[in-house]
């Protein structure tokens, strides 16, 4: 039982240490999450710093046997605070973004998030029960000190591999987040070259030479979907069609900087081309962030996908991206990626492009 207690302490210590360090590295995200969960703006900034510091203090206290009970009490208090905060928001129908591990993991809260925190709270409660009876298990430092040299080297090697895997995951996540920014900058460079007469005009069918393109094959039926708008009303693809007008599905993300550059134009498209085609923004994540973006830029008809469920069926790999759907319900274009391609697609939206022979990429797993 002592060994089980020690493993429980090490589990909670690793969870809180990872969460605390990740939040400190993403203080802006931590402050935004605090506000999204309903904390007053005046408290969001200090809470974004105090919470990761408290998590790190809990992680440190769980290691020595002398302070393990206090660490378990702190862990239980924090986890119960998380459970209450998540439960209240879910009960109100809100799903704010949860950066439980900073930039390592970000997703809207749900019942899985509540269950995960509840399970960790149960582990903390077990430690409090054991600690209250003076049975907190051996000291982690003393336990490791009893290892042989070979065992210590093996443990150190395992921790090193785990650390490298975490670092690789973090690096890849950051690399993917930079992808949108790089697309925007490349688009600006291409526009400058084109303005100077140094770049060839794209072919009429929108192809990009030998570069692969992605999307559902042109001319095939558009995959149906059902999403909720910012008022909570259910909207289907079929309900978006208007007689003789195609639909441009515009995939955006509240945290996408190139999307922010594009949104002012989206409003003008919706107003100026309302009689030619319908522009339907499909945002990802918490509806509160999408509502704020829509209000800021005066967008209408914004739909919200919880994760990437519609993006995947349309083989959309990033934001901003767009797909044209013809009035007959068939795909009218492959995926336009980046601001420049999206603008080009919209400029040709009323013409409904002919089927393309460009190579179609694989669907998103």
Q: What is the DSSP string of 136-191?
A: --S-HHHHHHTS-HHHHHHHHHHHHHHHHHHHHHHHHHHHHHHHHHHHHHHHHHHH
Q: Is the peptide bond before 191 cis (omega within 30 degrees of 0)?
A: no
One digit per residue, pLDDT tens: the chain, 365 residues? 666 777 788 888 888 888 888 777 777 767 777 777 777 767 777 877 888 888 889 888 888 888 888 888 998 998 898 888 888 877 877 777 776 665 555 667 778 888 888 898 898 898 888 888 777 666 655 555 556 666 657 656 776 776 677 667 666 666 665 675 676 667 667 666 666 655 444 444 444 444 456 788 988 999 999 898 888 889 998 888 777 788 999 999 888 888 888 888 888 888 888 788 889 999 987 678 888 888 888 888 899 988 788 988 998 888 889 999 988 889 988 899 888 889 888 887 645 443 333 333 333 33
Domains, the chain, in order of start with CATH, read 2-146 (no CATH), 226-351 (3.40.30.10)
Half-sphere exposure for 81 (CA within 13 Å, toward CB): 14
The confidence score (pLDDT) of residue 94 equals 74
pTM: 0.43
The tokens describing 341, both together, are: 């391609």
H or E element at residue 195: helix 149-195
In the block, tokens 């393109």 appear at 213
The tokens describing 308, both together, are: 């990437």
In the block, tokens 């013809």 appear at 326
The tokens describing 157, both together, are: 């090697």
């Amino acid at each position: 039982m002592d060994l089980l207690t020690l493993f429980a302490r090490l589990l909670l210590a690793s969870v809180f240490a990872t969460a605390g360090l990740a939040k400190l590295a993403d203080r802006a995200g931590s402050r935004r999450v605090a506000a999204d969960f309903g904390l007053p703006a005046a408290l969001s900034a200090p809470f974004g710093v105090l919470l990761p510091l408290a998590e790190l203090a809990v992680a440190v206290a769980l290691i020595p046997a002398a302070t393990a009970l206090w660490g378990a009490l702190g862990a239980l208090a924090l986890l119960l605070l998380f459970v209450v905060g998540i439960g209240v928001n879910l009960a109100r129908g809100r799903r704010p973004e949860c950066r439980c591990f900073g930039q390592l993991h970000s997703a809207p809260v749900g019942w899985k998030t509540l269950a995960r925190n509840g399970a960790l709270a149960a582990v903390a409660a077990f430690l409090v029960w054991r600690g209250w009876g003076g049975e907190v298990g051996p000291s982690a430092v003393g336990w490791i000190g009893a290892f042989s040299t070979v065992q210590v080297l093996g443990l150190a090697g395992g921790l090193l591999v785990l650390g490298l895997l975490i670092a690789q995951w973090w690096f890849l996540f950051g690399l993917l987040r930079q992808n949108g920014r790089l697309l925007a900058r490349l688009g600006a460079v291409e526009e400058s070259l084109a303005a100077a007469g140094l770049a060839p005009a794209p072919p009429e069918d929108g192809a990009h030479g030998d570069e692969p393109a992605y999307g559902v094959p042109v001319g095939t039926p558009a995959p149906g979907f059902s999403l909720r708008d910012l008022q909570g009303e259910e909207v289907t693809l079929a309900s978006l069609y208007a007689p003789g007008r195609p639909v441009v599905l515009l995939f955006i993300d509240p945290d996408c900087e190139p999307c922010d550059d594009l949104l002012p134009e989206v409003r003008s498209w919706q107003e100026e081309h309302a009689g030619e085609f319908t522009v339907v923004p499909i945002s990802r994540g918490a509806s509160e962030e999408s509502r704020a973006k829509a209000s800021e830029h005066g967008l209408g008809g914004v739909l919200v996908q919880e994760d990437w469920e519609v993006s995947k069926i349309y083989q959309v790999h990033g934001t901003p991206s767009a797909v044209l759907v013809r009035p007959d319900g068939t795909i009218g274009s492959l995926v336009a990626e980046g601001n420049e391609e999206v603008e080009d697609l919209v400029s040709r939206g009323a013409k409904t492009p002919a089927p393309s022979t460009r190579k179609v990429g694989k669907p998103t797993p």
